[in-house]
Each structure stands twice: as C-alpha cells, then as structure tokens.
Structure 1
Amino acid sequence: MEFHVPVIDITPYVCDGNEEQCRAVAKQLDEAARTVGFMQIVGHGVPQPVLDGFAGALDAFFGLELETKQRYRTPPISNRGYSPPKSESLSLSLGVESATRMNDFFEAFNVGTALTDYPGLELPENDYAENIWPQEVPDFRAPVEAYFAEAGRVARTLTLAFADALDLPAGYFHAFTDHSLDVLRMNNYALPPGTVDLDGDLIGMGEHTDYGIVTVLWADQAPGLQVLGSDSRWHDVQPADGALLVNLGDLMARWTNERWLSTMHRVKPPIVNGTIQRRRSAAYFHDGNIDAVIDTLPSCVGDGSKYEPVTVADHIRTKLAGSRLLQPNTKAGREAARLLAAAEPPPGRY
C-alpha cells in the first residue's frame, strides 16, 4: 500500500461547524491516526503574519554566533533555552545504544508553559521552568509567544476532535490538559561549514517517537523529515501548502492501546554541494498535566492493555533523560523494536 499522509481540513472545529461536519472530520482523524499517525492539517486558522513573524524570529536567533547562543544554554532537566549541535541523541529516548556513535547535529531553542502561567497550583519548578529570552534579539519574544499561543490553540482544538473520534464525552481530555506541560522546540539544521563532518552517517535529528499527546509541527517545505511506515520503511514527508504537520505522541498511543500510532520519525536533511540544505522547524508538544495518570481508555482495552498506567511526569522525564542526559531509556521496548526492524532507504538517496 502506498504511503500517504492525508490532508485534513479542521475548519468545522475552528469555526463552529455543525455536528455532521465535525463528525466527518473526526472520522478522517481516526483513519489517519490508525494508519499513519501523521496528518497534514489545514483550516487551522493560524494567521500568515504570525507565521511570518515567527520565522523571522527563528532566523534572527539562529543567525547569532554560537558563542552568543551558548549563553542561553540551560541544564537539560529544565527543558528551556538553547541546545547546541551534537548535544542530544533522540534515539536514546528509545534506549537504542547504537545512537551514541554520533549525536544529532540540529540546534534548538525551547520555550514552554511556566509556573506563572498557572497561579495557585503547586507545580514542579523544573518541569514548569520560567522561560529565558535572548537579549541580543529584542524582537524575538513577541512573535514566538504569538505563535506559541496559536499552536496551543490548534493542539487543544485537535484534542476536542480526538474525543469525538474516540467516542468519548465532549471535552474528555480537558481534565488531563488544563495545566498541560507544553513545550515549543524551535530547530535549525543549516549549520556553518566545519560545524559537523559531512559523512554517510549524518543525522539531523535521530529516530524517535514524540513523548506526549499530540505534536503540531511548523516546518519549511524542504526535504529531510522521514516517517517510518507500517512497511518498516522510511518515507519522505514535506508540509503541503499552508498545512501544519500533526503527529501523535506516546501518551496517546498508550491511551488508545495502540489503536492510534505514535509514529517513528527522524530528520536527514540533504547535502547540496557539500553544504547541509537549510531547514527550519518548530514542534509544539502538547504533553498533558504533569500529575495526570495515563491509563488505557475503556473503549480501547480489547483483549487487554499493552501498557501499565503511567504519570505524565514519569514518562516525560524518562524520555528526556535519554535524549538530553544521554541515559538510554529502558522502558521503551515496543518502540525500540520497531526502530530496530526498520529498513534503510537505498544508498545514495541523499
């Protein structure tokens, strides 16, 4: 069967469509979640000026000298600030030891929900750390916060549709996400000459599944993103015009007992004339409340749950310990097995 990431128009959920229209969208989401785990979302309502301002903010920050960007590097446990090239290994979030031979060459800057966003709640400071903002780019914060708000709106809209698609009560996921641990990770792959060795094993971002509930991805229309299909082969994916790429995370796969897929993916930007082709992306991770317990939905238990209940805190911290602290995850056996069974594309593909 040909690999295909469907384009789904969520306008009925954004603009108060009628029940029939929403039901049709929910059916499409269910089909995509069961068969691919990725989808192209249009009708999301994110204004183009917000996207343009956000892209400009990314360019301004990543265009700074590495020494300047390093000033904003924070301890990995806080998941805020700057991550320099080759400081992370996403495959270790799956416990795959071979990934240590070369860390991923992307650089990133993270912002997220903070303690001050949820006054009155006693939340762990490391998980809900305050954001830091680069002083050298005074026009960085406003456009990033504007896009953060829009991406969060899209993620929450999708969870409303997910409840319908899974035959759950309206707004079912709200109780699990009303102080959600959300992070926006801005990524850059166009690194200066000499930053990395351009060899055959070059990985922009290693093989991984996302950790939380749902990911909303803005990206350049440039090659690089690859998704592992049900045929155990890697397939190239690029955003359609005006679309945001959306994929499901591990917590949603646990909730649905793998009725819905947390699909393996990676980034391998092509090399053109000895230079890594420019590619930018930004992933908004909607991960759920830190104290929420994720257990198989009653409608998805079937012959039994594939997973034990887990808190969002335990799951996310274990995954981050792999990718950022380089401590292999020993609790991702099902995901690691899928990765180890994957077939590589033919040599010279890139």
Structure 2
Amino acid sequence: MPGHKLLQLTSPYGPVFRSIKTTPPRDATVEEIPIIDVGGIFSDSLADRQAVAAEIRRAATTSGFFYMKNHGVPEETIQTCLSSAKEFFHQPDEIKRRVSLSGSKWFNGWNGPGSHRANAVESIDHRESFGMRYDPRYDPSVADPAAIPQAIRDGFRAEEYVWEQTANLPEFKTGVLGYWRACLALARQLVRVFALALDLPEDYFDAMTSHPDAAIALNYYPTIPASALAEGAEEAVSIGSHTDLQFFTMLWQDRNGGLQVLTREGQWLNAMPVEGTFVVNIGDYLQRITNDRFISTVHRAKNFKTVERFSMPFFFGFNFNETCGVLPSCIDEEHPAKYEPISCEEWVRLRFKATNMESKDDE
C-alpha cells in the first residue's frame, strides 16, 4: 500500500505484522488518548465507580490507551522513587553490574545498555532498566506469607538479590517499594472498575489477582546516539515497538516525552506527558480474554532529546496459577469465543520464549 510499510512484532505464536504509515509521528488528540478522572473509583457510590468504568470501556475499546488523573498515588512517593532511580542509574556500570540480570533466575535486576532488543527489526533498545516482581512479604494486604497456598506460591518470581546488591544505596529499597506498594493499591482499585467496564460483578477479578504478577521497571533513557540515527532514524529506538503482555500497565513518565502509540490506522502518535497523570494501556492477556473487545496497542519510546528520560511502568496481571478463558460477558451468538483458556504462567512463558527470555529452568 503506498505510504505504508509493514512492522514486524513479536507474539507468543510467532511474528505478526502491522501496516504503518510512513508519515511522521504527530501529537495525540484528547479524543485519541483521553484523560480520565478516576477519582470516582475511590467513591462509596456505585454510580460514581460505574461512571469511571464507562469512560475506561470507551478508551479500552478504541485506542487501548488513556491518561489517568486523580489516581491517588502521592507525588512525594513518585518523586522519592524517581530520585532512587536516578541515584541508581548514575552509578558506574561496575557497581550496577552487581545486580545485573545474569545473577537473577527470573529477570529481576539491572538490564544494562545494549543488552536488549524489544523488536527484532528495529535497533537495540537504547536504555537501561531495573526490574522487580511481586513479593508477598512487601504486600500490605498479605498478613502471613507462609499461609499462601502452594499453587500460588509456585508462581512467585521475586528475588531478595535485588535488594542485597543495591544495599550500597541506603534509601533505594524504601523508595522503590514505596512506589510499588502505592501502584499495587491503585491497581487493585482499578481492576474492580475494569470488571464493571466488562459488565461483570465488581469483585470478579479479586481472587484471581490476590497475589498478582505485579512488577515495576525503572527505565533510564539516554539520548539516542548519533551513530544509531545515522543508521536509520525510523528504526532507532529507546525501546522497540511492542505490546504489553498482561492485564494492564500504569506508566509514570517524566516531562521529556518520548512515548509513541500506534493507532489502528497505522499512525504513530506522541503520547505527550500530562502533569499529574499515569498513562494506562491494555495488555495482551486482557485483549485475549475479552475476545479482542479491549485493545492491546503497539507502542514504543524514542528519546531524541539531548536530555535523559526516565519512566516507571507498573505491570499488573493475574496470579500466575490462574487460568482464564474468554469472559462470559464477551461472548454471544454473534461473537463466539476466539480463544481457548490459558494460564497466566503459560502465557508469560510463551511470550518470553518468543523473545528468547525464558527462565533458566526453561533453557
């Protein structure tokens, strides 16, 4: 098609392709990525929560992305975590290497520069990241981690390694876990509104997310080097084109911008920073269990500015042992179920396998 080209993407079942326009990215309008006031999710009024659910449903079925304001995560908590991230990434590589992924079983820790490529047909990712995954010992809603059923415990992917090897930064663990806990509390409120948006009982997902696949990544994006731009500006990325694989993602991004979202028509949009918001997007697993009603949208990041960029995404998914098929509210005579049930753990394993990121047990 004139004015278009094919973009290859990774999926659990092999490469998939999207037709994208060759026109330059443009800034998104509020109709394309709406700003939703989610303050109503904390209301005692069901009508208030349903009103937010209606707006989320509209965004989830059109763009798969929205900004979320009045989310309740304290600005001080965000800034404390950001300061911790900056302190960590500004260390020499030999210190950060103490907590590198090579010492982790489950991809916790530091992902150094030039070590990952989210998209096989774009450049390497010009970024560093630090990741941690759900640990019930730090979950305020868990009274006794030892009482958690073994079937759920088998899915835990946390490692104390990440804190032991960052102990040289006395405030790092406190700052990062404070942000993770605040995001976890918000996600648990938000998932109930997602249930309402899908015409399900408000507590439908509660048991499935009692000990969720809840992780954060601290991302550091230096400016994309001139050498990469010389090889091809379009393919030079800070993180390559991809979709997220779980329920939903909540992203805090700094004021420097760089996030780009692909529309259904193949146009790249700049998701410019909006003060006081998180960006929320639908993940692949949610798209699957909604029978493709909710959209998992392709996105990427490009830091072409001369200043460094930071972002802090929080990824929320089901307990690893949960198996979910297409939701009953997403099936009718005209829309039979497209997908078989699959466990959260198997879904994640397939996706990691497709990107050559299997755990060491799977090698």
TM-score, normalised with respect to structure 1: 0.83
| Alignment partner, residue 98 of structure 1 | 121
1:198 offset after TM fit, Å?
Answer: 4.2
The residue type equivalent to 2:266 in the other structure is S
| Alignment partner, residue 113 of structure 1 | 134
The residue type equivalent to 2:63 in the other structure is V
One of 243, 252, 260 as aligned partner of 2:277 = 243
CA contact (8 A) 2:253 2:312 kept: yes
CA contact (8 A) 2:107 2:131 kept: yes
Cα deviation digits, residues 209-241 of structure 1 (max 9, x gap):
111101111111222110011111111002311
1:191 offset after TM fit, Å?
Answer: 6.2
List structure 1 runs of 4+ shifted beyond 4 angstroms.
191-194
Are residue 156 (structure 1) and residue 184 (structure 2) matched? no
Gaps of 5+ in 1: 92-96, 328-350
User: Counterparts in 2 of 1:138-149, with a 5 A limit?
Assistant: 138-149=170-181
1:47 offset after TM fit, Å?
Answer: 1.1
User: Counterparts in 2 of 1:287-326, with a 5 A limit?
Assistant: 287-302=317-332, 303-323=335-355, 325=357
Cα deviation digits, residues 90-143 of structure 1 (max 9, x gap):
22xxxxx535xx321211001121264642332237734335121221111111
The SS at the match of 1:24 is helix
Are residue 229 (structure 1) and residue 233 (structure 2) matched? no
CA contact (8 A) 1:215 1:246 kept: yes
The SS at the match of 1:132 is helix
Distance 2:223 2:93 in 1: 10
1:243 offset after TM fit, Å?
Answer: 0.4
The SS at the match of 2:264 is coil
* Residue 156 to residue 62, structure 1, CA distance change in 2 (3 Å): same
One of 303, 306, 314 as aligned partner of 1:284 = 314
1:306 offset after TM fit, Å?
Answer: 2.4
Task: Give the aligned length.
Answer: 314
Are residue 63 (structure 1) and residue 93 (structure 2) matched? no
Distance 1:139 1:191 in 2: 27
Distance 1:38 1:269 in 2: 20
User: Counterparts in 2 of 1:1-350, with a 5 A limit?
Assistant: 4-14=32-42, 16-75=43-102, 77-91=105-119, 97-99=120-122, 102-114=123-135, 116=137, 118-120=145-147, 121-122=149-150, 123-124=153-154, 127-130=157-160, 132-133=162-163, 134-190=166-222, 197-199=228-230, 200=233, 201-272=235-306, 277-302=307-332, 303-323=335-355, 325=357
Among the aligned pairs, what percent are the same residue? 30
Distance 2:160 2:36 in 1: 35
CA contact (8 A) 2:224 2:302 kept: no
The SS at the match of 2:101 is coil
* Residue 192 to residue 260, structure 1, CA distance change in 2 (3 Å): closer
CA contact (8 A) 1:89 1:324 kept: no
CA contact (8 A) 1:253 1:259 kept: yes
The SS at the match of 2:329 is helix
The residue type equivalent to 1:226 in the other structure is Q
| Alignment partner, residue 8 of structure 2 | none
CA contact (8 A) 1:105 1:203 kept: yes
TM-score, normalised with respect to structure 2: 0.80
The SS at the match of 1:98 is coil
Distance 2:259 2:225 in 1: 22
Distance 1:262 1:119 in 2: 35
* Residue 230 to residue 197, structure 1, CA distance change in 2 (3 Å): closer
